[in-house]
Amino acid sequence: MAIENPNKIFQKLVALRESLGIPLVKYNHTIKANPISEIEIQLETDGGIEVSATDIEQIAYGSLLSYKGVLAIVYIPDTYKTEAYLKDNNLLRPDRSGRMSEKAPKFHFSWCRTLQGMQDKQRYDRYVLLRNKNNKFKVWAREDRYSRSTELKELVRLFPCKYCLSGELANTSYTHQKIGYKGYESSWNATKKHEAVDSFNIGSFLEENEGTFNTIKYANSIRQRPRYSDSNVEADDYTSDFSEISRRVRENADWICSKCHVDMSNKKEGLHTHHKNGKKNINAAGNLMVLCALCHKGIDSFHKQMYVKPHIEAYILKNRP
């Protein structure tokens, strides 16, 4: 049996389409099965996702970092340190003069002065974004000062950067007010600072900021921005201190929704801070309202397209008093 050349069949179809005057429509045949959750899964592996500095998304002037719409933290795997230096997992270690000092390197949860400084110096390090809940990292180290770096078999503990903790972001011109995570201030004494650095937990940080991050993402997605012409374009944007203000407001409300009174202390990512007058840069207490994701979605017509994850919706519905 003779099989006709498939190209010829295709040419006949093209001729038929053209003879009927039907325009060619280009379809995109790549169907992606929820790419966000794939990225989320990848970010939660020990290896995270390796990127260049420009791939890191900055939310609200760098106060939060994300990759393809997923909240994450960032670090540089090559530590330029020795294995012995890194592996005790303690924050403090004796320096050359014998004094106890804080161990480097650090991880970052904001686009802080350190990250900006490295980018300015054009250091082409590999940055890794991830969502590791236990503060342990895959790192590269050297055997001694003269050898080349290799990846360590065991994960080592890294600690949060102090610029990130004190809110010293690179985009200071937009920083309405410098505000530290859980009240962290650079003027604190060394002991108090060490305690804050040592007790920082990435899992809790992500959980506390997830709701705020999603709110900002949603607002940005529906926002109608004039194109690069209006100098007031940024006037109604979320401020860089909003993530911490939002965290405090929700903490002070004992993580309870002010409308339906559901207790979200075990599901913090489902509790949001809403701006009553719609102005995202007015963070006065009277303009802020603590709402669970479902009450937030129902507050007015601007919010009704807001996506609420099924596990959060189920939790709210089950736990509403």
Binding site for Zn ion (CB under 5 A): 108, 112, 114, 161, 163-164, 257, 259-260, 274, 292, 295
Question: Is the CB of 142 or the CB of 253 nearer to Zn ion?
Answer: 253
For the bound state, the minimum distance from the C-beta of residue 17 to Zn ion, rounded and expressed in Å, comes to 49
Question: Is the CB of 83 or the CB of 184 nearer to Zn ion?
Answer: 184
Q: Which of 174, 155, 255 is nearest to 210 (CA)?
A: 255
CA 66 from chain centre, in angstroms, equals 4
For the bound state, the minimum distance from the C-beta of residue 16 to Zn ion, rounded and expressed in Å, comes to 53
8 Å CB contact between 191 and 83:
no
Question: Is the CB of 142 or the CB of 282 nearer to Zn ion?
Answer: 282
Amino acid code (one letter) for 19 = S
Question: Is the CB of 83 or the CB of 106 nearer to Zn ion?
Answer: 106
Amino acid code (one letter) for 122 = Q
Which two three-digit tokens encode residue 29?
A: 């045949």
8 Å CB contact between 178 and 167:
yes
> 318 by DSSP, 3-state: which?
helix
Question: Is the CB of 60 or the CB of 164 nearer to Zn ion?
Answer: 164
Question: Is the CB of 80 or the CB of 142 nearer to Zn ion?
Answer: 80
Question: Is the CB of 141 or the CB of 215 nearer to Zn ion?
Answer: 215
For the bound state, the minimum distance from the C-beta of residue 161 to Zn ion, rounded and expressed in Å, comes to 3
For the bound state, the minimum distance from the C-beta of residue 32 to Zn ion, rounded and expressed in Å, comes to 29
For the bound state, the minimum distance from the C-beta of residue 22 to Zn ion, rounded and expressed in Å, comes to 46
* Alpha-carbon separation of residue 287 from 37, 107, 279, 281 (angstroms): 33, 33, 9, 10
For the bound state, the minimum distance from the C-beta of residue 292 to Zn ion, rounded and expressed in Å, comes to 3
8 Å CB contact between 215 and 296:
yes
Question: Is the CB of 70 or the CB of 105 nearer to Zn ion?
Answer: 105
Alpha-carbon span 142 to 82, nearest angstrom: 5
Q: Which of 144, 156, 139 is nearest to 78 (CA)?
A: 139
Which two three-digit tokens encode residue 14?
A: 């093209």
Per-residue b/e over 218-249, b at no fewer than 16 CB within 10 Å? bbeeeeeeeeeeeeeeeeebbbbbbbbbbbeb
Helices (H), the chain: 6-19, 35-43, 83-86, 113-120, 162-166, 190-199, 202-222, 242-252, 293-297, 310-319
For the bound state, the minimum distance from the C-beta of residue 40 to Zn ion, rounded and expressed in Å, comes to 23
For the bound state, the minimum distance from the C-beta of residue 164 to Zn ion, rounded and expressed in Å, comes to 4
For the bound state, the minimum distance from the C-beta of residue 174 to Zn ion, rounded and expressed in Å, comes to 17
Question: Is the CB of 81 or the CB of 212 nearer to Zn ion?
Answer: 212
